[in-house]
Chains A and B, each alone.
Chain A
Amino acid sequence: MQAYDVIIIGAGFAGPVAAKKCADAGLKTLMLERSENVGEKVISGLTIPIYGFLFGPAFIRDGNPPIERPVDGIINYIITDIEKGEIEIDDTLKIPKPFAPIVAFGYNAYCKPFCEWEARKAIEAGAELRTSTLVTDVIVEAGCVQGIITETGEKIRSRIVINAEGSQGLVAIKAGVRRKYPPETISLADIYDYEMPKDRVDEIFGFSVRFCWGWDEQRCSPPLGHGNGLMVWPYRDSLHFMQDQCLRMDTSSVPNLKKMFAEYHHNITSKLPWWKHDVEPHARLRAHMWEGFEIYVGLHEELRSMPNHTDGMILVGDAAGLESTELCDGVPAAWISADIAADVAIEALKANDISRSFLSRYDERIKAHPILQWSISGTNRFNLRYAQHEHDLTKLRRYVHNGWGLGALTHVSTPLMKMLCRHIIANPMIIMQWMKMFFRYYYNWHHARFDYSAFPASAGKEFAGSKSDKRFRACFRLGQVFLMLCLPFIWILAILSFPLAEILNPAMKMLLPVIEPLYARILKLFAPISAQLSRSMVERVIRTDPKLFEG
Chain B
Amino acid sequence: MSQKYPGVEWIDGTGTFITIETHKCTGCGNCVKVCLADCYEIAGGKATIKNLELCMECGSCWYVCTAEAIAFAWPKGGTGFRTRWG
| A and B: bona fide binding partners | yes
A: residues with CB less than 8 A from B are 34-37, 39-44, 110-113, 131-134, 136, 150-151, 167-168, 170, 180-183, 186, 188, 190-191, 193, 247-248, 254-259, 261, 285-292
Closest B residue to A131 using CB positions: B78
A290 engages B81 (CB within 8 Å): no
Does B86 contact A289, Cβ atoms closer than 8 Å? Answer: yes
Contacts of B57 in A (CB 8 A): 41
Q: At the interface, is chain B mostly helix, strand, loop or mixed?
A: loop
Q: Do A288 and B8 have beta carbons less than 8 Å apart?
A: yes
Tell me how far the C-beta of B64 lies from the nearest C-beta in chain A, rounded to whole angstroms.
5
Given contacts A170-B73, A286-B6, A288-B7, contact A110 B86 (CB under 8 A): yes
Q: Which residue on B lies nearest to A35, using beta carbons?
A: B82
In the complex, the answer to whether A186 meets B63 with C-beta atoms within 8 Å is: yes
Complex Cα distance, B76 from A41, in Å, reads 13
Q: Which 10 A-B pairs have the closest CB atoms?
A: A287-B7, A132-B78, A43-B86, A292-B58, A287-B85, A134-B77, A40-B82, A36-B78, A132-B77, A193-B85
Size of the B side of the interface (Cβ < 8 Å), in residues, is: 34
Contact status B11-A36, CB under 8 Å? yes
Q: Are A288 and B5 in contact (CB under 8 A)?
A: yes
Choose one: A42, A131, A292; the contact of B63 (CB below 8 Å). Answer: A292
Q: Say whether, besides A35-B78, A247-B60, A288-B5, A258 and B33 are in contact (CB < 8 Å).
A: yes
Beyond known contacts A34-B74, A170-B72, A289-B85: 18 more, CB 8 A cutoff: A36-B78, A39-B86, A40-B84, A41-B82, A110-B84, A110-B86, A112-B84, A151-B76, A181-B63, A183-B63, A191-B86, A193-B85, A254-B30, A255-B33, A257-B33, A287-B5, A287-B6, A292-B60
Contact A180 B63 (CB under 8 A): yes
Nearest opposing residue in chain B for A165, CB measure: B74
A-B contact pairs, 5 of them (CB 8 A): A44-B86, A112-B86, A254-B64, A258-B35, A289-B86
CB neighbours (8 Å) of B81 from chain A are 41, 289
Task: Assess the A256–B73 pair: CB atoms within 8 A.
Answer: no
Please tell me which one of the listed residues B38, B64, B86 contacts residue A111 in the complex, with CB atoms under 8 A apart.
Answer: B86
CA A19 – CA B45 in complex, angstroms? 48
Query: Which residues of chain B from 1 to 54 have a CB within 8 Å of any chain A CB?
Result: 5-8, 11, 30, 32-36, 38
Determine whether the beta carbon of B36 is less than 8 Å from that of A261. yes
A344 CA to B1 CA, complexed, in Å:
44
Docked pose: A146 CA to B80 CA in angstroms: 29
B69 at interface (Cβ–Cβ under 8 A)?
Answer: no
Q: Which of B7, B11, B32 contacts A286 (CB 8 A)?
A: B7
Checking B5, B8, B36, B73 against A258 with a beta-carbon cut-off of 8 angstroms, the contacting residue is B36
Tell me, in angstroms, the Cα distance from A133 to B57 when the chains sit together: 16
A165–B45 Cα distance when bound, in Å, is 35
Quick one: which of A131, A133, A254, A285 has the most chain B CB within 10 A? A254
- Complex: how many Å from CA A35 to CA B83? 11
Once bound together, how far apart are the Cα atoms of A34 and B57, in whole Å? 12
Residues in B with CB closer than 8 Å to A287 are 5-8, 83, 85
Chain B contacts of A34 at CB under 8 A?
74, 77-78
> What's the nearest-Cβ distance from chain B to residue A13, in Å?
11
- Taking the closest CB of chain B, its distance from the CB of A184, in whole angstroms, is 9
Contact status B86-A188, CB under 8 Å = no
Give the docked Cα–Cα distance between A37 and B82 (Å): 9
- Contacts A188-B34, A258-B36, A290-B36 given: A170-B60 contact, CB under 8 Å? no
Task: Give the shortest distance, in Å, between A119 (CB) and chain B (any CB).
Answer: 15
CB distance from B52 to the nearest CB of A (A): 15
Q: Which residues of A contact B7 (CB under 8 A)?
A: 193, 286-289
CB atoms of B34 and A254 under 8 A apart: yes
Q: Which residue of A lies closest to B34 (CB)?
A: A257
Provide the bound-state CA to CA distance between A398 and B21, in Å. Answer: 47
- Is the pair B5, A289 in contact by a Cβ cutoff of 8 Å? yes
Which residue of chain B lies nearest to A112 when distances are taken between CB atoms in the complex? B84
- A257: chain B residues at CB < 8 Å are 33-34, 36, 60
The complex places the Cα of A150 from the Cα of B78 at a distance, in Å, of 13
A130's nearest neighbour on chain B, judged by CB, is B77
